[in-house]
A and B are shown apart, each in its own frame.
Chain A
């Protein structure tokens, strides 16, 4: 063992400070369970000192929409769609056993009993830990979602190139 040996812990910490690992997560799904998994990974990574970017697209956009905001689209087709496709982090259905809200309600109750945070709590945690949120402008246009109908704290409204520019530097890229 030489005298110049660097303590591994210190060397790693220094490495962290100069170039943090980056994680990018595409959230396509608007299912409660999937979005929850995305936020659990995001908050875990942020707590490990990684730089995390989440890109919300298609159904995933529902997680960062305010509850009860109607579609801003003028045409009836998109407005009808907006009535069916409701936003709000607390409104997301389970991918299985949703049963018109009954199954999801039961799951939420079990989670509360076990002190498991739900999607709104995990999302707040992610924001507190400095996770970057990007909303997909293409989906926003398609679904008539305006900037005002999104929650506060969305860092960027952008498209695929912004996501790719981030992902290119990432060591972990997930599509959920």
Chain B
């Protein structure tokens, strides 16, 4: 279980909004801090690691939860630099 410093709620939004929100939010963090992105868009499972790979931030992990009928994904991203 990863402990996040900042939480970002992107529930209800489809691609590319969660990624755009993430790219904006990560600017507010200092290197080393961990951002937790909560999303119900399944695409985030692949998109967040891809985003991390091309931006240089570190993907720490992804948790999947089932709430009622909806699935919720929690992606943990560690800010590396900038």
Contact = CB atoms under 8 A, between A and B. Distances in A.
Interface of A: 9-10, 12-14, 16-17, 21, 40, 43-44, 46-50, 114-117, 125, 129
A128 to B, nearest CB: 9
B56 A125 contact: no
A43 B55 contact: no
A16 B56 contact: yes
A46 B81 CA distance: 17
Which 9 A-B pairs give the minimum distances between C-beta atoms? A13-B56, A47-B23, A44-B16, A12-B56, A47-B20, A48-B54, A115-B12, A47-B19, A49-B55
B57 interface: yes
Contacts of A40: 15-16
A9 to B, nearest CB: 5
Q: Which of A16, A44, A125 has most chain B Cβ within 10 Å?
A: A44
Nearest to B57: A9
A25 to B, nearest CB: 14
Interface of B: 12-17, 19-20, 22-23, 51-58, 80-82
Given A49-B55, A114-B14, A10 B80 contact: yes
Given A40-B15, A114-B14, A9 B20 contact: no
Contact of A13 (B13, B23, B55): B55
A116 B20 contact: no
A48 B82 contact: no
A21 B81 CA distance: 18
B15 A9 contact: no
B54 to A, nearest CB: 5
A155 to B, nearest CB: 20
Contact of A117 (B17, B52, B80): B17
A117 B54 CA distance: 25
Given A43-B16, A43-B20, 15 more contacts: A9-B57, A9-B58, A10-B56, A12-B54, A16-B56, A21-B54, A47-B16, A47-B51, A48-B54, A48-B55, A114-B12, A114-B14, A115-B13, A125-B20, A129-B20
